[in-house]
Structure 1
């Protein structure tokens, strides 16, 4: 599934049961192409260490929230590399299960 398709599904308030994303930046939590469940964030209060599906500087990632500053969220991989700061509007879903 393409990232843009996932965004549209999550914006409609629908859950994606087995989203897969390539890459090793979330090891050992998530392996490359390991399926995860993505649920829309809705009004959910996000917290540090939540794994979210988001857009940072033009790219889509399934990464962790590493810091929260007011209404901004710092997004990082599981190796503490910071991808950048985003707002709630750039977060489309939250990982609720890893298969």
Structure 2
């Protein structure tokens, strides 16, 4: 599934039961192409440590919220690399399960 499709489905309130993303930036929590379940963030209170599906500077990521500053969220990988700051409008889903391949 492409990231844009995932974004649209989450915006529509749909849970995505097996989303996969390439890359090792979330090791050891999530391996490259390891499926995760994404749920819409409609009523979820987002906090530091949550793994979210979001768009930062034009790129989609399944990364952690590393800081919260008012209504802004800092997005980082699991190796402390900061991708940038976003508002809730750029966060589409939250990881609720990390599945086995």
- 1:58 aligns to what? 58
Q: Distance in 1 between matches of 2:10 and 2:93?
A: 6
Q: Distance in 1 between matches of 2:23 and 2:16?
A: 19
**Gapped runs of 5+ residues in structure 2?**
none
Q: TM-score, normalised by structure 1?
A: 0.99
Q: TM-score, normalised by structure 2?
A: 0.97
**Gapped runs of 5+ residues in structure 1?**
none
Q: Distance in 1 between matches of 2:18 and 2:25?
A: 19
Q: Indicate whether 1:97 and 2:87 are aligned.
A: no
Q: Distance in 2 between matches of 1:57 and 1:7?
A: 15
Q: Distance in 1 between matches of 2:17 and 2:43?
A: 20
1:93, distance to aligned residue in structure 2 (A): 0.1
1:40, distance to aligned residue in structure 2 (A): 0.2
Show structure 1 runs of 4+ deviating over 2 A: none
Q: Distance in 1 between matches of 2:40 and 2:13?
A: 6
Q: Distance in 2 between matches of 1:26 and 1:61?
A: 10
Q: Distance in 2 between matches of 1:53 and 1:73?
A: 12
- 1:39 aligns to what? 39
Instruction: Supply the RMSD in Å over aligned alpha carbons.
Output: 0.3
- The residue matched to 1:38 in structure 2 has which SS? strand
Q: Distance in 2 between matches of 1:46 and 1:7?
A: 17
- The residue matched to 1:65 in structure 2 has which SS? strand
